[in-house]
Amino acid sequence: MKTSSLAIAIALTLAACGQPDSSRAQDGVFADNRVIPGDATSMKASFAPVVREAAPAVVNISARGVRTVQDPFWSMFGMRPQAQQVGSIGSGVIVRPDGVVVTNNHVVENMQQIRVTLNDRREFPARVVLADERSDIAVLQLEGVNERLPALNIDDREEQQIGDLVLAIGNPFGVGQTVTNGIISALNRTETGISDSGSFIQTDAAINPGNSGGALVDMDGDLIGINTAIFSRSGSSSGVGFAVPATMVRRVVDSAVGGATAVVRPWLGVKGETVTADIARSLGLERPQGLVVTEVWPNGPGARAGIREGDVVTAIDGAEINDQGGLNFRVGTREPNSTVEVTVLRDGRPTNLEARVQRLPGDADVDKGGLIRTGALSGAQVVELNPALADSLGGDPFASGVIVTRVQRGSYAQRVGMQSGDVIVAVNGRSVTSAGQLDNLGRGTEMTISRRGRAITGVIG
């Protein structure tokens, strides 16, 4: 474990008050090597050595692009969309001496010109090698690099603990490189609304606009996360910041360096529900823990490993699982065809199963759909959902139905209110599984659709 400095020692000293003697420090040293300062010299502990090591690898990013904007009023008179210049400012981290930089995808998304400024004020143009919208991580390659650049080591060993000291380094509000300190407030945060497959490090180190893509480093000067989002009513830091863990950063970087154009996330083929206090009582569990399995994909990785409906998944490779997001994250950081150990509670007894996680079945190409040419939905281009397609669109891989990918202007489908992204779930009470069920629909047909997660049922008029 790591030796920490004054602030963490004080925090641990306070935390030890009121604990059993076995958990207290002996002769000023805790069992995990965290040390209490014993003299005036140690009271002058500084983060400067860590900053000197880490700061040169943290960069500022400025990006510019062009987007088209259509004014609804002028569009009625046939006016074309207008081009508008847009810009973005953020931070990034050099993770390889040859100029590979990690940042947030939202910093460089849809930008045509990217310029990276190093801590020593040198500037380089950059191009996007791989952008992963799901994790909000993008990998850039600096151009014109003729020497080894300072780089941070990606520490994906996951040895961090709640209460450990961390530094956030970035470019808040575009003022220039800035360092703030805090602690790890929580680990494995999944119910954040940031991502359906994200598991974040929460910190109280000040993170503000412009810090996006910057480094969260530990007291060894290693990169343990990429600062990504904050919870705030004002837009400024309120002490609740989130970073993408190094395990996912490593996965995206390795994919990019390996020549991939996208991060392929395997799946376990298991869907479940968080174990609440009521569910725990009904299952006879001592406490609420894990994810109770409600569906297992036929012949999927979980099914072949022996996972059954009613099992409670409590860990993946020893990492605690308590919700679907946590399971998706743990499995998503693995390479396809790799083996994971799944710990389940079955009949109240823990059982370890080995599962070989694999690519989601199906085709994620939305352009392979067909055009409905007859009936009330004519003019809608649709494609049947499959796990790979649903997952690529940010939906539930277990979902069934037919998704609308495009609606022609002036078509019958547009007149009845269909929109791109709508999932047609049922027609006249029958589940929809193929596009052929949508031909020749007429007036009086009852249809159920899912729109942005909300079920809507109506009758075609």
Which of 62, 88, 212, 237 does the annotation list as catalytic?
212
**d(C-alpha 129, C-alpha 143), whole Å:** 12
Among 337, 334, 323, smallest CA distance to 293 is for: 323
Active site residue 234: no
332: phi then psi, degrees, rounded to nearest 5: -70, -15
> Per the structure block, which two tokens stand in for 240?
């609740």
Which of 132, 136, 155, 391 does the annotation list as catalytic?
136
**d(C-alpha 433, C-alpha 227), whole Å:** 41
Q: Please tell me whether residue 250 adopts helix, strand or coil conformation.
A: helix
Long-range contacts of 49-53 (CB under 8 A, 24+ apart): 50/167, 50/217, 50/219, 50/220, 50/221, 51/167, 51/169, 51/179, 53/221
315: phi then psi, degrees, rounded to nearest 5: -160, 150
Cβ contact 250:152 at 8 Å: no
Active site residue 136: yes
* Helices first, then strands: H and E counts in the chain: 10, 25
**d(C-alpha 436, C-alpha 439), whole Å:** 6
**d(C-alpha 205, C-alpha 14), whole Å:** 20
**d(C-alpha 228, C-alpha 200), whole Å:** 9
**d(C-alpha 92, C-alpha 62), whole Å:** 10
Catalytic residues: 106, 136, 212
